Structure 1
Amino acid sequence: MPTAPADRTPRDCTIADALEVVGDRWSLLVVRELFYAERRFTDIAANTGAPRDILTARLRKLLDCGVIAREQYSSRPPRYEYRLTEMGRALSPVLLTLKRWGHEHVRKTDDPVRFDHSCGHELVAEVHCRACGDPLITEPD
């Protein structure tokens, strides 16, 4: 297998930058749970299966990066709820696209979870040209 030259600089890329924030399994699953309106640590832990220490670290990172915010709902003992910030809500097309890709290429079965718009119809993420509206079609090499 060919190797990259040692003097080559990695491509400057906003995808890599985004993956630094939400590029691990647990972070995206936390965002998914908040998108589903689960707010509390115990619910997020149960629905993701994340170990408590890992979940705590991911919540802290998402807080520090501005993806989520927390609000105290109990003072004795101190307990917090988490919410997506505007930055976090902007990840919804990413979640919808991953969900669709997983359904079409990995699971290939009916997905019991739907994301519905306020009108009641299912939300589907699609990539299209901003000018003409044509969908993205990737050609094989």
Structure 2
Amino acid sequence: MVTRTRFDDSECPVARSVDAIGDWWSLLIVRDAFDGSRRFGEFQRSLGVAKNILTARLRTLVAGGILESVPASDGSAYSEYVLTPKGEALFPVIVALRQWGEQYFFTPGEAHSQLVDRRQGEHLRTLEVLSADGRRLGPDDTTVRKVSGQ
């Protein structure tokens, strides 16, 4: 069995973030949670993932503080999974992946889902990376700086 490489002690925030998320199933679970899924069966039906894989991913997301397991809102004996503030903070990541996918993986006119503003019903403006003073930044406008521990 291949041992999974861990990045939870890496100095790179991207590596630590990827380590916390784990894999594509986890991101799709988070996407579904944003879309309103709360119960194991809802995630399983939406994703079509094997129950053992879903169980493992949900456990990892709960252990990582991204989801929380709570009693069912209808008072039944079931549990539900809700996004924590840490999980909700993934919203821009999910939007960025969605917008990147819309731009590069669909042909013009091909059917796909679209995220819209609930109040206005309009497509979202493309996310941008902005400087502290509001300038739009690209890869050539940034550099990585190491921050020393306190």
- Return the TM-score normalized by structure 1: 0.79
Q: Aligned partners of 1:52, 1:125: CA distance in 2, in Å?
A: 35
Q: Aligned partners of 1:39, 1:66: CA distance in 2, in Å?
A: 16
Matches within 5 A, 1:89-128: 89-108=88-107, 109-128=110-129
Amino acid corresponding to residue 67 of structure 2 in structure 1:
I
Given that 1:97 and 1:124 are in contact with CA atoms closer than 8 Å, whether structure 2 keeps it comes out as no
Comparing 89-98 with 67-76, greater Cα deviation is found at 67-76
Alpha-carbon distance, 1:39 to partner:
0.7
- 1:39 match: 38
Amino acid corresponding to residue 18 of structure 2 in structure 1:
L
Matches within 5 A, 1:1-141: 12-73=11-72, 78-108=77-107, 109-138=110-139
Q: Aligned partners of 2:105, 2:65: CA distance in 1, in Å?
A: 31
Q: Aligned partners of 1:50, 1:115: CA distance in 2, in Å?
A: 27
Structure 1 residue matching 2:87: 3-state secondary structure: helix
How many aligned positions are there?
A: 129
Q: Which has the higher contact order (CA 8 A, sep 6+)?
A: 1
Given that 1:97 and 1:126 are in contact with CA atoms closer than 8 Å, whether structure 2 keeps it comes out as yes
Alpha-carbon distance, 1:52 to partner:
0.5
Comparing 115-124 with 36-45, greater Cα deviation is found at 115-124
Structure 1 residue matching 2:105: 3-state secondary structure: helix
Structure 2 residue matching 1:107: 3-state secondary structure: coil
- 2:4 match: none
